[in-house]
Structure 1
Amino acid sequence: MSTNSKKTPNTSLALEFKSSNFSVPVLALSSDDLITIEQQLQEKASVAPDFFKNLPVVIDLQASNKLECNIDIETLTAVIKKVGLLPIGIRGGNAQQNKQALNLLIPVYSVNHGVTTEEPQKQQTPAPTPETETRDTSTMLITQPIRSGQRIYATGDLIITAQVSSGAEIMAEGNIHVYNTLRGRASAGIQGNKDARIFCFDLQAELISIAGIYKVSEDIGASVRNKPVQIYLQNQALIIQDLLQHH
């Protein structure tokens, strides 16, 4: 007598799709000079190697295509991966670039951020507004907690009104203001700005750095730990000053 050896299907839910917001850096290109692109990417990555290692990026080709550059996507992605970044999408590409990206299993995003699987009709790229042009040097404001494993990079000043958790990393080319508890790692003046400062209400950081000069948790004195402080460079030394101390 034969028995049915088929497995009973497992009806428990194994997966689900959820709506979520992710902050992914956008690599905006304005040249098709791949040698220069690689060189400048290497320079940025050398300043903060841990941050840029395996960093996902969306490639923005709007500006380069407006200048009639014709970047080969396969070659470009090879350059980006060589630096250690991971291209996870392109936007603003022409029909040929979009086709190349899809052949490489790289999603194609519309300018309005939606994912498309078809080659869009050729459209006139609108001229960038002043707001878009100044975005790279504007202040980034974050009101949500920065959780462990999150990495934030601001090309201007960075203001955070919630706590920064242990295991998180925040970086800014300008100043950093944390109006809450600062744990994790904080690096200001990431591109060499020695005038940058870090301000926080409660210093419990694992690492603090300005223009590449840093202190780890063990080097932060008890007199300033758990205090509101400002951190700045003076004669190539990192100074941590209690904001409540009397002079």
Structure 2
Amino acid sequence: MASDEAAAPARRAAFELKGTVASLTVIRLLVPELARVDAQLGTQVAQLPRFFEQAPVIVDLEALGEAAARVDLSELAALLRHHRLVPVAIRHLAAEREAEAGRAGLGLLRGPAARGTSGPLEATPPSAEASTPTSAAPERLRAAATDPRRNAGERGTTASTAAEPAQLEPPPPAPAMATEALGSLLLTQPARSGQVIYAAHRDLVLLAPVNAGAELIADGHIHVYGALRGRALAGAHGDKAARIFCSSLEAELVSIAGEYLSADRLPERFRGKPTQIHLQGDELVFRPL
């Protein structure tokens, strides 16, 4: 009997393999010149450093078409790591370059779209107010790092790392200091999956739901008069007085001035309820509306 009990742990499986849908940021290259990618990524990481730190990312080459052959994968991977991103995979890569991807430490994402030979897609012109990445919603995978510290009651402390949007459209230019705040950016249509909406130097007001996979970013407050199922990042330039208001809290991630909580750390009693979120010290505090 004793020998059977001793052998029992050895018979138990050491691990399980499970399919899951996690969230990873997709960096969709629009130009093959890595110097331009480096400069732009440096600017965006500087704006939201804690969102990018150690964020796992997927590189998408589809928009480059034949110009993708000019991208040095090892140099690209090193560039991303230099900015403290973690490149985990690449898609829309020519089959003859798969070994090169392996040497660069990049996994391969295959599928009908990845095997196709479609040419470059039309790039959406950047906007200072809003931009819409063209990657398909199922591919906007993110693996937001969860906070190892406990989430006590209505408060949640934040981890130092998270996967956040590594949008490669140029960021809006920073205007000179204004003496008056801009009026709120008011939108009446739902925020679609894969869409990124940025309200620079103002509040963002949405009179419609925010779908999963959508992302709201504002330098001021964020108001959602509907279900908040995507991500909401208020106080993006460090305004700790910014708040998030929503009619139904179902978010994938909420953040104020760089302090954030992902979906699995949100207080259960506020899920699906009208909620306001603000900072108290370095903690996010949730209160009913």
TM-score (norm 2): 0.49
Q: What SS class does the counterpart of residue 20 from structure 1 fall into?
A: coil
Correspondence for 2:224 among 149, 174, 177: 177
Q: Which residue of 2 aligns with 1:200?
A: 246
**Which structure 2 segments of 5+ residues have no match?**
1-5, 138-143, 148-161, 166-194, 199-205, 259-277
> Structure 1's 94 and 79: CA in aligned 2 closer, same or farther, altered over 3 A?
same
Secondary structure of residue in 2 paired with 1:81: helix
Q: Is the 8 A contact 1:206 1:217 kept in 2?
A: no
8 Å CA contact retained: 2:53, 2:85: yes
Q: d(CA) in 2 for partners of 1:58 and 1:20? A: 16
**What secondary structure sits across from 2:98 in the alignment?**
helix
- Taking the aligned partners of 2:145 and 2:34, their CA distance within structure 1 comes to 35
Q: 1:148 to 1:72 in 2, by over 3 A?
A: closer
2:287 pairs with 1:226 = yes
Instruction: Map 1:61-80; keep pairs closer than 5 Å.
Output: 61-67=61-67, 70-80=70-80
Q: State the partner residue of 2:57.
A: 57
- Report how far residue 148 of structure 1 moved: 4.8
State the TM-score, normalized to the length of structure 1.
0.56
Aligned to 2:117: 124
* Alignment match of 2:280 (pick from 212, 217, 221): 217
- In structure 1, C-alpha distance between the alignment counterparts of 2:94 and 2:163, rounded to whole Å: 31
Higher relative contact order (CA 8 A, sep 6+): 2
SS of 1:156's equivalent in the other structure is strand
The 1:176–1:48 alpha-carbon spacing in structure 2 relative to 1, beyond 3 Å, is: farther
| Amino acid across the alignment from 1:74 | S
CA RMSD of aligned residues (A): 4.7
Q: How many residues align?
A: 188
What's the offset of the Cα at 1:226?
A: 2.0
Q: What is the deviation of 1:32?
A: 1.7
CA contact (8 A) 1:62 1:125 kept: yes
Task: Tell me by how many angstroms 1:173 deviates.
Answer: 3.4
- Give the drift of 1:155: 2.0
CA 1:147 to 1:42, structure 2 compared with 1: closer, same or farther past 3 Å? closer
Counterpart-to-counterpart distance in 2, 1:219 and 1:98 = 44
Give secondary structure in 2 for the equivalent of 1:173: strand
> What amino acid is the match of 1:28?
R
Matches within 5 A, 1:35-114: 35-67=35-67, 70-112=70-112
Return the letter of the residue paired with 1:173: I
Aligned CA distance change for structure 1 residues 21 and 81 (closer, same or farther; 3 Å): same
Offset at 1:218?
4.1
Summarize the alignment of residues 156-171 of structure 1 with structure 2, pairs less than 5 Å apart: 156=197
1:71-109, CA deviations, whole angstroms, 9 ceiling, x for partnerless residues? 010111111110111110001112343221122342111
Mark the CA change 1:181 to 1:73 in structure 2 (over 3 Å): closer, same or farther: closer
Distance in 2 between residues matched to 1:14 and 1:39, nearest whole Å: 44
Residue 234 of structure 2 is aligned to residue 188 of structure 1: yes
Amino acid at match of 1:39: A
- Which string of whole-angstrom CA distances, capped at 9 and with x for unpartnered residues, describes residues 13-52 of structure 1? 2211112111111100011211111111111111111110
Q: Percent identity?
A: 23
What secondary structure does 1:226 align onto? Answer: strand
- Cα deviation, residue 63, structure 1: 1.1
Q: Tell me if the contact between 1:152 and 1:171 (Cα under 8 Å) persists in the aligned partners.
A: no
Find the aligned partners of 2:91 and 2:134 in 1 and give their Cα distance. 22
Contact 1:73 1:97 in 2 (8 A): no
